């Protein structure tokens, strides 16, 4: 694959104002791609458009100027807790938004269509999941994403579209503004001089550093067309799973703070104890493996928040 693969290629990123979207936008821009980013709120700078992706007429305007080589569809209502509080909006926004993207990619002959998914679609069973395991969602957010996965595969099979579906574990790193997620929430508490709160703590999860997630999108965009039809779904996991309690204690250690965990009553039912995804397929076909382990990634993340916390 040439080093200047992305140079001059037109690329569309939905959700370009989000945590992962901003990093992907910056990476592809550095690689020489001509990137257009769609954001939900006010346009956040050069190359971005404000658009409600559930409005297909409004969205179609982003496709009119020049054909896109690739579309990375990252936009979604992505927080599990918000999905439980606003199930109708979450399912509507995620499903209709993805449907509109798929239809416009179909009618505009986009050559790579990457529809972001999540390991949450596998459900609450305590297993090590492969791409061949069927989705078993329960909560509104993961159910909406499973619907999008199935719909994306339907479009791919019915219209021979080059659709790829990456299923990611929990992505973390510098620049995540969501203080409901365990890593930024814990770091912010520590930097503010508060004891980090934790309920439960025995559940094991995998965490993937943002740069490794961006590399995953990069290699998906570069996949040979002949390899797509047989390999639409890819899991992208971290090095190993870790309990929530061990994670919080590791963040405290990395930060150098002299504090301890504050346990609070559980606000919801205990989650599945262990969830792990098998990423062998991503290595075998794409040559992808995570490079940044949790200690290094947390060190980078704490350093970023230490610098930027006053502005959050």
Q: Using an 8 Å Cβ cutoff, are 245 and 299 in contact? A: no
- The total domain count for the chain is 1
Q: Of the residues 141, 155, 209, 217, which is catalytic?
A: 141
- Spatial separation of the C-alpha atoms in residues 81 and 156, rounded to whole Å: 31
Say if 203 falls within a structural domain.
no
Q: Alpha-carbon dihedral of residues 234, 236, 239, 241, nearest 10 degrees?
A: -100
> In Å, what is the CA distance from 101 to each residue of 65, 218, 275?
16, 19, 30
| Whole-number Å distance between alpha carbons of 88 and 240 | 34
User: What does the block give as tokens for 105?
Assistant: 């990619």
| pLDDT at residue 271, rounded to an integer | 57
Domain annotation covers residue 47: yes
Active site residue 305: no
* Residue 95 belongs to some domain of the structure: yes
How many Cα atoms are found within 13 Å in the side-chain-facing hemisphere of 123? Answer: 8
Strands, E assignment, 5-61? 10-14, 34-39, 48-50
CATH number reported for the structural domain that contains residue 62 in this entry: 3.40.50.720
Find all residues with CB under 8 Å of 248, minimum gap 6, and list them: 182, 186, 196, 198, 201, 261
Question: Does some domain include residue 228?
Answer: yes
Q: What is the pLDDT of residues 101-149, one digit of tens each?
A: 999 999 999 999 999 999 989 987 667 899 999 999 888 999 999 999 9
Q: What is the pLDDT of residue 65?
A: 76
> 193 lies in a domain?
no
Spell out the alpha helix ranges (H) of the chain: 19-30, 56-60, 80-85, 87-107, 140-159, 182-191, 210-221, 225-228, 244-255, 280-281, 294-308
Q: Let me know if residue 185 belongs to a domain.
A: no
Looking at residue 138, what is its pLDDT?
84
Predicted confidence pLDDT, tens digits, the chain (312 residues): 678 999 999 999 999 999 999 999 999 999 999 999 999 876 556 789 999 999 999 999 999 877 999 999 999 986 667 767 889 999 999 999 999 999 999 999 999 999 999 998 998 766 789 999 999 988 899 999 999 999 999 999 999 999 999 999 999 999 998 888 899 999 999 999 998 888 777 788 899 999 999 999 999 999 999 889 878 999 999 988 999 999 999 999 999 999 888 888 765 555 556 778 999 999 999 999 999 999 999 999 999 999 987 655
Q: Does residue 63 form part of some domain? A: yes
pLDDT, residue 77, reads 84
**pLDDT recorded at residue 240:** 87
Find, among 59, 76, 124, the residue nearest to 271 by Cα.
Answer: 124
Residue 268 lies in a domain: no
- What pLDDT, on a 0 to 100 scale, did the predictor assign at position 266? 65
pLDDT at residue 203 in the model? 82
Q: Cα(196)–Cα(252) distance, rounded to whole angstroms? A: 9
Residue 90 belongs to what domain range? 10-172+208-238+275-292
Predicted confidence at residue 285, as pLDDT, reads 95
């Amino acid at each position: 694959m040439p080093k200047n693969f992305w140079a001059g290629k037109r690329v569309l990123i939905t959700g370009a104002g989000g945590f992962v979207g901003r990093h992907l936008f910056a990476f592809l821009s550095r690689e020489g791609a001509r990137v257009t980013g769609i954001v939900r709120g006010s346009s956040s700078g050069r190359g971005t458009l404000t658009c409600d992706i559930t409005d297909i007429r409004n969205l179609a305007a982003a496709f009119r100027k020049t054909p896109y080589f690739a579309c990375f569809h990252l936009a979604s209502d992505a927080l599990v807790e918000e999905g439980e509080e606003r199930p109708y909006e979450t399912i509507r926004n995620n499903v209709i938004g993805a449907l509109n993207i798929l239809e416009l990619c179909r009618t505009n002959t986009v050559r790579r269509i990457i529809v972001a998914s999540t390991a949450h679609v596998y459900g609450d069973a305590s297993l090590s999941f492969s791409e061949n395991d069927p989705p078993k969602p329960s909560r509104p957010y993961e159910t909406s994403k499973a619907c999008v996965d199935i719909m994306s595969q339907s479009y791919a099979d019915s219209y021979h579209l080059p659709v790829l579906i990456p299923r990611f574990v929990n992505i973390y790193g510098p620049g995540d503004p969501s203080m409901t997620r365990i890593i930024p929430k814990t770091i912010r508490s520590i930097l503010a001089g508060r004891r980090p709160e934790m309920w439960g703590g025995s559940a094991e999860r995998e965490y993937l550093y943002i740069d490794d997630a961006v590399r995953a999108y990069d290699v998906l965009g570069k996949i040979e067309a002949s390899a797509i039809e047989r390999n639409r779904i890819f899991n992208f996991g971290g090095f190993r799973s870790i309990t929530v309690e061990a994670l919080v204690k590791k963040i405290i250690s990395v930060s150098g703070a002299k504090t301890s965990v504050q346990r609070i009553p559980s606000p919801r039912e205990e989650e599945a104890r262990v969830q792990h995804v098998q990423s062998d397929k991503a290595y075998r076909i794409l040559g992808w493996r995570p490079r940044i382990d949790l200690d290094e990634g947390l060190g980078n993340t704490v350093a970023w928040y230490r610098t930027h916390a006053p502005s959050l």
